[in-house]
Chains A and B, each alone.
Chain A
Amino acid sequence: MSFSVTEPTKGTKWFAGILVVAYAVVTIIPLLWIIATGFKSPTDSIAYPPVVVFEPTLEGYVNLFTDRTRATAQMLEEAGPPTTWYDEIARERGTVISGPSRYGERFLNSIIIGFGSTALCMILGTMAAYAFSRFKVPLKDDLLFFILSTRMMPPIAVAIPIFLMFRNLGLNDTHLGMILLYTAVNLSLSVWLLKGFIDEIPTEYEEAALIDGYTRFQAFYKVVLPQAATGIASTAIFCLIFAWNEYAFAVLLTSGTAQTAPPFIPNIIGVNGKDWPAVAAGATIFLVPVMVFTVLLRKHLLRGITFGAVRK
């Protein structure tokens, strides 16, 4: 058999393929388990040994989106027959729906804070990265190192000072506060990533635009940004994922109005303690926005990760 450097042999291909599939299976099993648990009954969800084949129910989703009270026989009689399918599911457990849960609110908070901080981070990050990449900034290297050094400890290490600061500034439990916090944490990484991408764009393009009659800012906006789209998209995904999944600060700094979904989901209490199917349902729905966002930017993400490795 002839040997080629670029063309893998059949055996190599099989080996690589099996490795990739095995890795994919390992990573996707927890995800599938969560999705499956969302459709289990509370009994099935904590059964031991775990049940793989079960009768699916939407009880978890109903419990996720509603608040219920235990109903006496008299109450049930007064309420009359169930009017909707979810009413019926609640009745089967001897409860009546007393109103919507706060999951929707929390989910919306996550959207506002996650996407808000990502947007802010991108706006500030690209401009800072552009300045670091193109202009003579005094103490540039020290500043860049300082910016990166803010990520050298876990952010939660400064939780107490931030908590006190937020209390004094009136930012506790506000959307603005959380957006600012996540932006501050993410900004260092995004400045570094984006600077790398902008460094790769030859300055001749902007110079050409300057000569073509545009101002520096217009050149940045019309020539640099479109070419940095790949880097901006992949950096945005990293920022969103961090802000979206952040748990510790959300627990510490939010309680009522600005609480995001992560602290809310694990604390969904059912009739008999923790309501695991509802928790799983909450987690499943929570996955969707990041997945959609990532799939939308997938093309850029792939190119972004290999950026710089392959010369055009």
Chain B
Amino acid sequence: MAEISLTGVSKSFGDDVALDNLTMTVPDGSFVVLLGPTGAGKTTTLRMVSGLDKPDSGDVSIGGRTMAGLTPAQRNVAMVFQQYSLYPHLTVRENLEFPLKSPVLQTPAAEIKRKVDEVAEVLQINHKLDNKATALSGGEMQRVSIGRALVRNPSVYLMDEPLSSLDAKLRADLRVELKNIQANSGATLLYVTHDQTEAMTMATHVGVLDHGKLVQFGTPRQIYEDPVSVYAASRLGQPRINILPADVFGGAPDAAKTIGLRPEHIVQGDGENSMVKRVERLGDQTRLHLDFKDHDLITVTDAHTQLKHGDIVKIRPEKPYYFDAVGARVV
């Protein structure tokens, strides 16, 4: 396993800047999740590390060795794609054997069998080994493609939204499995996702990307509890953080332009009046959509709340974040 470092990496596709002078270090043995909306440069970062694309400038190194000029095969990385990940003309077993049989590895037959069986066991696909890859369900396919990364012993694993095409239950199961595999093997994993649950539950570190720049890098808790900007704060939290003009509650610092309030940071039963617009019952929690001085607010409340549309609730902020005009954190 190895540390990945990107130094001043830039990449443009035509006029679109995908990565803008990105510098980031993925520590050895860490599980780093890259967060950001479409176009933030997450997938491009993976492709730079894997060698599928070359940076316009800057350097990528793995384990202290520069990767400039090396082909994907020479870099010894494993990658799981979002979709189209299995070779459709091969069986599950042949898919899992494929990387082991490559001219780079040339694994002996007995070793191939042992590894494939071992990985199939872990991912619970051993009864499907002789099926054609296309005869599997979506969840099974994705497990096989994760398996194809696991049969090898690469320096790093790269995963591009590997769970996004799966249904909720499978996603939850595989999330736990992946985290276990990573924790047990001590592998370095660079993982791209949109899903905040995946980021919060699996990551040791989260990198927040915005237009090809790394805006914040830290543990999931740091990103959640101490965001550097409106943008970083908006990446995590379900429902999303409420952003209001700074002066609606009073007491804002001078430079503050907006106030950021996580739903759980709105205390009810004290402070100023707001009106309930909608009550959303999710089972384990209930969300209140409030109208506060003509601004929309979302907060969470007791699952069995009696509140209904039109009720008046007193609210006050607790632990608010203040941001300046460009969205940077003030307090």
Contact = CB atoms under 8 A, between A and B. Distances in A.
A215 B71 contact: yes
Interface residues of B, number: 24
A77 B87 CA distance: 74
A211 B78 contact: yes
A218 B87 contact: no
A127 B77 CA distance: 28
Contact of A208 (B85, B89, B104): B85
B98 A212 contact: yes
Nearest to B160: A204
B22 interface: no
Given A204-B81, A205-B84, A210 B89 contact: no
A212 B99 contact: yes
A210 B103 CA distance: 11
Could you tell me the dominant secondary structure of chain A's interface residues? helix
A207 B77 CA distance: 12
Contacts of A210: 51-52, 71-73
B102 A212 contact: yes
Interface in A224-259: 226-227
Contacts of B152: 212
A213 interface: yes
Given A210-B71, A211-B52, A214-B73, A204 B102 contact: no
Interface footprint category on A: 10 to 19
B89 A226 contact: yes
B169 to A, nearest CB: 25
Contacts of B78: 211
Nearest to B81: A204
Contacts of A204: 81, 83-85
Interface in B181-212: none
B88 interface: yes
A202 interface: yes
A215 B73 contact: yes
B84 A202 contact: yes
Contacts of A227: 88-89
A227 B98 CA distance: 16
A207 B73 CA distance: 10
Nearest to B50: A211
Nearest to B88: A227
A283 interface: no
A213 B102 contact: yes
A223 interface: yes
B148 interface: yes
A215 B73 CA distance: 7
Contacts of A214: 73, 102-103
A213 B52 contact: no
A260 to B, nearest CB: 36
A213 B84 contact: no
Contact of B103 (A202, A211, A215, A223): A215
B79 interface: yes
A147 interface: no
A209 interface: yes
B148 A212 contact: yes
Interface of A: 202, 204-205, 207-215, 218, 223, 226-227
Interface of B: 50-52, 71-73, 77-79, 81, 83-85, 87-89, 98-99, 102-105, 148, 152
5 contacts: A204-B81, A204-B84, A210-B73, A213-B99, A227-B89
